[in-house]
Amino acid sequence: MLRSEVPGLTPDRHRDLADAITALAISPRHSVCVEAPAVLDEPPELRRADGESVFTEHAAGRYTSQAVLDAEQRALVTAFACDERLLLAGIGPAGSGKTTTMRAWAWVLRQHGRRFVPLATSAAAADVLGRELTVQADNLHKFLHEWTAGKSAGRLRAAGRVPADVRMFALRPGDVVLVDEAGMAGTLLLDQLVQVAASRGAAVRLLGDDGQLPAVESGGALRLVAAQPGTPQLTMLQPVPRPRRSHRHAPPARRGRHRRRLV
């Protein structure tokens, strides 16, 4: 385009102007780098003359925009908040933006006067989840114990008044139960949770990566739910930014997942 729009440039001037335009286009002001970080350093024998790995595609750096990333998060939030199904899963590997999306989803629920109950598959994971979402979270096993064998189980099932320490486990119509890292939850536990939610007019949302190792218990439920039509998926990662090379040589595309995309 420069040759036709700005004719008469010397080769050096043409190169400098092309570099300046490229640098502006891929700068943080306009673009977000979505290259995956290099995991291994190849030996010199596996590098090109400019130092680039032979396993990368030359001049194929990947970028997106904040507007695109925001739109993808909105799609997952919309699916979780508006889908009328009793059970829905959101799929994405670690680093794909699931936690950020869940914060936005929690905000949407609060604006509509709806309550959500965040659960994890262990006490340690529940502590992390609660801190990430800035809400109280608990263990899936504890939740089901309170509903089946706890001292207030009968009151929970009858929608009666319960002690303060059990109040977060109470469900009412319109509430949503979120299970984080649901691939680590046993199939029978998830089935029991869905039955509890259905009995109180609540919904269940599963969040996790169906590519992870399944639960020690009988697992596979997340993969089954993820295979249903309309399941939102964040399929690619947005890595932590790292120093760029000179833009005289376009940055290479690394192997593996590069950017998050909703499909």
User: Which stretch of DSSP H or E encloses residue 178?
Assistant: strand 176-180
Other residues' Cβ atoms within 10 Å of the Cβ of residue 224: 13
Q: Cα separation of 180 and 202, whole Å? A: 17
* Predicted local distance difference test score (pLDDT) of residue 215: 65
Farthest CA pair distance, the chain = 85
Contact 254, 35 (CB under 8 A): yes
- List, for residues 186-229, the tens digit of each pLDDT value: 889 999 999 999 999 999 999 888 777 666 676 678 888 878 87
Average pLDDT in the 142-162 region?
93
Residues 254, 255, 260: CA angle, nearest 5 degrees: 85
Q: Cα separation of 210 and 136, whole Å? A: 25
User: Which stretch of DSSP H or E encloses residue 27?
Assistant: none
233 vs 195 pLDDT, higher one: 195
- On the question of pLDDT at 263 being above 70, the answer is no
Residues 66, 101, 109: CA angle, nearest 5 degrees: 125
- On the question of pLDDT at 41 being above 90, the answer is no
Q: Which of 205, 7, 10, 201 lies closest to 101, judged by CA?
A: 205
- List, for residues 52-76, the tens digit of each pLDDT value: 888 877 777 778 887 776 666 877 7
* Predicted local distance difference test score (pLDDT) of residue 230: 72
Burial 171-180 (b: 16+ CB within 10 A, else e): beeebbbbbb
Look up the CATH number of domain 70-226: 3.40.50.300
Where do the domains of the chain lie?
2-64, 70-226
pLDDT band at 254 (very low <50, low <70, confident <90, very high): very low
DSSP string, 162-176: --GGGGGG---TT-E
Q: Is the pTM of this model over 0.85?
A: no
Q: Cα separation of 54 and 49, whole Å? A: 10
Contact 62, 25 (CB under 8 A): no
Average pLDDT in the 119-140 region?
91
- On the question of pLDDT at 255 being above 50, the answer is no
